[in-house]
Amino acid sequence: MSRYSVFSLLRHAATGNRGWQRAWRAASPKASYDVVIIGGGGHGLATAFYLAENHGVRNVAVLEKGYIGGGNVGRNTTVIRSNYLLDGNTQFYEFSMKLWEGMSAALNFNVMFSQRGQLVTAHSADQLDTFTHRANVMRSNGIDAEILDRDSVRKLVPYLDFSDTARFPIHGAIFQGRAGTARHDAVAWGYARAASGHGVDIIEGCEVTDFVRQGDRIVGVETTRGRIGAGRVGLAVAGHTSVLAQKAGLELPIESHLLQAFVTEPVKPLVDHVVAYGADHFYLSQSDKGGLVFGGNLDGYNSYSQRGNTGVLREVCEAAIALMPNISRLRLLRHWGGIMDMTPDASPIISLTPVDGLYLNGGWCYGGFKATPASGWCFAEMLATGETPALVRGYGLGRFRSGHMIDEAGAGPFAWLQ
Amino acid sequence: MLRIDCPCCGVRDHSEFRYGGDATAERPAHDNPDLDAWYHYVYVRANPKGLHREFWQHVLGCRQWLVVERDTVTHSIHSVSFSRRRRA
Ligand SMILES: Cc1cc2nc3c(=O)[nH]c(=O)nc-3n(C[C@H](O)[C@H](O)[C@H](O)COP(=O)(O)OP(=O)(O)OC[C@H]3O[C@@H](n4cnc5c(N)ncnc54)[C@H](O)[C@@H]3O)c2cc1C
Ligand SMILES: [Zn+2]
């Protein structure tokens, strides 16, 4: 695979850009692989890449029912941050942040990681206190965090509603300067290209329909392109984890719910950071094309349809205008939805399973994009060694039985409230 | 927007209702000491892609808890009934 560089750009420019190769090989399934990964989203592709790169396991296939980047990895609002409070999450997401910081160089692919900084506004003295607690936990873990008072927030983001009539006046904010955004589908493409370069087969248009067992052990998968044998099978199918796990006889603490994203018509540079509204579930950033990209709450009931309803559309627009009245005349260009595994504590599951040969990576709720590199890194280690890496020991399936949940939202066992 | 046909109030937008989750999970008897049964009741979900029996409460109407049978792919609603059980 030829490397991308300034020189390759110039060379191709001089020859009319007719010589570019496919970014990854279009592979056909072999009879069997050491590791089969189900799901060609960011997590599945990152797992394949780190299996080859870190562990030398190259006889690997990623099976994707649609096309690379068509799932949640290409549907999210691209926010990357590591401002988590609870043990387990704090360290994991910071490890992920460090991988983001080196990702474009490691993959030889520009994922346009932009550390523009994220702030979450606080709307009462009490909320600012809890943010201060969070900032202290972050700083004691070596993560950058600042607490801003009202005047400093105003200097940074003067376009928010600081008027006397603001429904929820801004008291301050928590700020993480290293947080930001990345080009989401470039992440899928970059991992796919780098994994393919290591010999991994990326097979699109290949849906896994069942598992092949020998005794109690899973030894392969049935697909729409025939049976494929596997030494180990890793499941990384985002919103469809329950559907496939059931075929393996596993019932999980997961519900599938829908989250929408929204983008406005493009405007001139206006929003320099990622801004999250502490008074409601709402956040926004500005894309490089100029559109304001934002999101809010789940639709709130089980759903496997990748389209949202207008109730949430209205709530999100109300929150947008409450936070930032000057965008009230902007037109919304598009909105879309993605299906997510919601867990009862809002934390992911990276785990061995009671089914021999089957490994689980799911339950990302709506925060799994930022986790993509760390998730792939750790899941690859799990698939290569059969052991649970220290960094994800808190994400095991057993935590719901033992009571060691990592309940960041504190919403209890109600998936749709997380 | 889902439209739920409340047996008390008639057809209303789902924004009048509060979602209550899976209606098939069976609560163990109050004095049941079996941790596994409680684990299943509190956490484990079938999460079907297709027909789902679920609770909704008509909070902005009659405040009754209902059981709604809804398809999680098409959102079509197959039945709505009261969730309270009749005493024998
Ligand atoms: C609207 C929205 C906004 C979000 N915003 C953010 C955000 O700002 N920050 C953040 O960190 N996270 C965010 N998320 C969450 C994040 O996108 C996901 O948690 C994460 O991308 C999930 O992992 P993935 O990339 O592997 O999933 P996906 O890209 O969905 O990959 C799973 C793949 O599995 C495939 N698949 C399913 N079933 C089968 C089968 N039977 N056989 C073969 N393949 C199969 C699917 O086609 C899919 O491509 C958001 C999500 C949504 C929907
Ligand atoms: Zn009613």
CATH of the domain at A202: 3.50.50.60
> Is B13 in the A-facing interface, judged by CB distances under 8 Å?
yes
Judged by average pLDDT, the poorest of A190-199, A293-302, B79-88 is B79-88
Burial of A376 (0-12, 13-18, 19+ CB in 10 A): buried
Within-domain flag for A6? no
| Res A321 pLDDT > 80 | yes
Q: How far is A337 from A316, CA to CA, in rounded Å?
A: 14
A325 and A355 part of one domain: no
A204 and A241 part of one domain: yes
Q: What mean pLDDT do residues A298-303 have?
A: 95
Q: Do B21 and A255 make contact, defined as CB atoms within 8 angstroms?
A: yes
From its phi and psi, is residue A393 left (phi > 0), alpha (psi between -120 and 50) or beta?
Answer: alpha
> Is B72 in the A-facing interface, judged by CB distances under 8 Å?
yes
Find residues 38-67 of chain B whose CB sits inside 8 Å of chain A: 39-40, 42-47, 49, 52, 54
Chain B residues with CB-CB distance to A304 below 8 A: 49, 72-73
> How confident is the model over A359-371, as pLDDT tens digits?
999 999 999 999 9
Within-domain flag for A4? no
Chain A residues with CB-CB distance to B39 below 8 A: 400-401
- Name the residue facing A242 among B43, B47, B70 (closest C-beta): B47
Task: Decide which of A304, A324, A342 is a domain's last residue.
Answer: A342
Task: Using alpha carbons, select from A309, A154, A326 the residue that is nearest to residue B3.
Answer: A309
> How confident is the model over A38-73, as pLDDT tens digits?
999 999 999 999 999 999 999 999 999 999 999 999
What's the N-to-C CA distance of chain A in angstroms?
Answer: 43
A226 and A369 part of one domain: yes
> How confident is the model over A190-241, as pLDDT tens digits?
999 999 999 999 999 999 999 999 999 999 999 999 999 999 999 999 999 9
Within-domain flag for A308? yes
A302 and A360 part of one domain: no
CATH of the domain at A168: 3.30.9.10
A189 and A247 part of one domain: yes
> For chain B, what is the radius of gyration of the CA atoms?
14
A198 and A68 part of one domain: yes
A158 and A305 part of one domain: no
A262 and A336 part of one domain: yes
A142 and A203 part of one domain: no
Within-domain flag for A412? no
Give the phi and the psi of residue A27 in degrees, each rounded to 5. Answer: -95, 150
Q: Which of A89, A237, A287, A313 to mutate to test the pocket of ligand 1 (most atoms within 8 A of CB)?
A: A237
A142 and A192 part of one domain: no
Q: Do B39 and A401 make contact, defined as CB atoms within 8 angstroms?
A: yes
Strand partners, A262: A294, A335
Question: Residue B15: closest CA among chain A residues belongs to which residue?
Answer: A311
Task: Decide which of A176, A200, A224 is a domain's last residue.
Answer: A176
> What local confidence, expressed as pLDDT, does residue B87 receive?
59
Compute CA distances A399 → A345, A410, B22, whole Å: 10, 15, 21
Task: Decide which of A342, A362, A391 is a domain's last residue.
Answer: A342
> How confident is the model over A116-157, as pLDDT tens digits?
999 999 999 999 999 999 999 999 999 999 999 999 999 999
A124 and A272 part of one domain: no
Within-domain flag for A19? no
- Coil, helix or strand at residue B8: coil
Q: Show Cβ contacts of residue B40 under 8 Å, excluding neighbours closer than 6 positions.
A: A251, B25
The pTM of the full predicted model, rounded to 2 decimals, is 0.97
| Res B86 pLDDT > 80 | no
Question: What is the set of domains in chain B, with CATH numbers?
Answer: 3-25+32-85 (3.30.2270.10)
- Count up the domains in chain A and report the number: 3
Q: What mean pLDDT do residues B56-72 have?
A: 97
Q: Please tell me the distance in Å from A311's CA to the nearest CA on chain B.
A: 7
Within-domain flag for A307? yes
Q: How far is A86 from A208, CA to CA, in rounded Å?
A: 35
Within-domain flag for A10? no
Within-domain flag for A411? no
A323, two tokens: 């936070």
> What local confidence, expressed as pLDDT, does residue A308 receive?
86
A279 and A131 part of one domain: no
Question: Where in the sequence is the domain holding A133, given as residue range(s)?
Answer: 118-176
